[in-house]
Amino acid sequence: MSAGHSVQAKEAPYYYVPADSGHPVRSAIALLITAVGAAAWINGVGAGKWLVLLGLVCLIAVLFRWFGDAIGESEGGLNSKRVDVSYRWGMSWFIFSEVMFFGGFFGALWYVRTITTPWLGDLDHKLLLWPDFNAVWPNFGPAGIVEHFQTVGPFPLPTINTALLLSSGVTLTISHHALRADHRGKAIFWLAATVLLGVLFVGCQAFEYHHAYTELNLKFNSGAYGSLFFMLTGFHGFHVIMGATMLTVILFRLMRGHFTADHHFGFEGAAWYWHFVDVVWLGLYLFVYWF
């Protein structure tokens, strides 16, 4: 998110290597505080939630300084073409790791629905283990041990959110083409529209969660369906928030005159991430809400 060159920047002659930095150590300490606080919070320690808050605030502060330094290096003309290639490979591998992350959850959903549920409902298990188990998806566990809940259908909010994300992909592409054509005002307008669509998506998802909890009785402990539903949609929503944050930073950088038509990988990297989030949502929309 930090690569790019301003109009005044000059390209470095070879490969810029930053000086020693304390940012990695500081971020590790912040993450440790967050993890310890989360463990304490889960185990009923009252101070746990405050440790989580402290760790997150410290992490945000460190990242703000860290990315600020990287942006300063970029705008100072220290990033050569070799550094640009490194940024591209780094972002590519990061997105690949995210593909594997969501692949694990989609695999779990497929395994529970296609293999485990029919297997637990076969003749041997119905006779010997759970005679009252109903092998349908979603189910309420053996002998109905899971509280009754209703599933979330594709209408209306998931379909609205699909339209919002697909529209945001279009507006982001328009903004990118405008930047490549050196139309900065147009690029800023369409990027701001993209961020707004992302915010609307998160708002709709929050309303959907409230509806699921209060009216459908669908919770995280509502069997395999509930846990997978909230893990998949929740982590995706978190990625939307992170992507919108990246694009917001890029928006402010555009407004400050950063990037040129030829050098703007900071914009491109954030755009790659946003398009990845769009594709993941299409999979969620089909396999969680429809099938």
Task: Provide the pLDDT for residue 127.
Answer: 63
Residues 113, 243 within the same domain: yes
Task: Provide the pLDDT for residue 79.
Answer: 83
Question: How far apart are the C-alpha atoms of 86 and 73, rounded to whole Å?
Answer: 15
Task: Provide the pLDDT for residue 14.
Answer: 76
Residues 139, 30 within the same domain: no
- CATH number of the CATH domain containing 66: 1.10.287.70
Helices 81-111, 223-255: crossing angle, 10 deg rounding:
160
Run means of pLDDT, 10 residues per run, the chain, 291 residues? 43 74 95 96 92 96 93 86 90 97 96 88 69 80 81 93 97 97 96 98 96 94 92 96 96 94 93 97 95 84
Question: How far apart are the C-alpha atoms of 51 and 251, rounded to whole Å?
Answer: 32
Question: How far apart are the C-alpha atoms of 282 and 129, rounded to whole Å?
Answer: 38
Question: Which pair of tokens denotes residue 283?
Answer: 């999979």
Which residue has tokens 């912040």? 30
- CATH number of the CATH domain containing 155: 1.20.120.80
3-state helix, strand, coil in the chain (%, to 5): 75, 0, 25
Residues 25, 132 within the same domain: no
**How many domains is the chain built from?**
2
Task: Provide the pLDDT for residue 125.
Answer: 64
Cβ-contact 204, 233 below 8 angstroms: no
Q: How many CA atoms lie within 13 A of 155 on its CB side?
A: 0
CB-count burial class (<10 Å; 0-12, 13-18, 19+) for 136: exposed
Residues 169, 260 within the same domain: yes
SS3 271: helix
Q: End of a domain among 41, 58, 78? A: 78
Residues 73, 111 within the same domain: no
Can you give the residue range of the structural domain that contains 37?
Answer: 21-78
Question: How far apart are the C-alpha atoms of 96 and 58, rounded to whole Å?
Answer: 28
Residue 8 lies in a domain: no
The CB density around residue 208, as the number of other CB atoms within 10 Å, is 19
Question: Which pair of tokens denotes residue 198?
Answer: 């992302």
- 27: nearest Cα among 69, 70, 56, 68: 56
Residue 2 lies in a domain: no
Q: Which residues, including other chains, have CB under 8 Å from residue 30's CB and lie 6 or more apart?
A: 55, 56, 58, 59, 62
- 288: nearest Cα among 204, 235, 230: 230
SS3 259: coil
Q: Residue 55: what residue type?
A: G
Question: Which pair of tokens denotes residue 160?
Answer: 């609205």
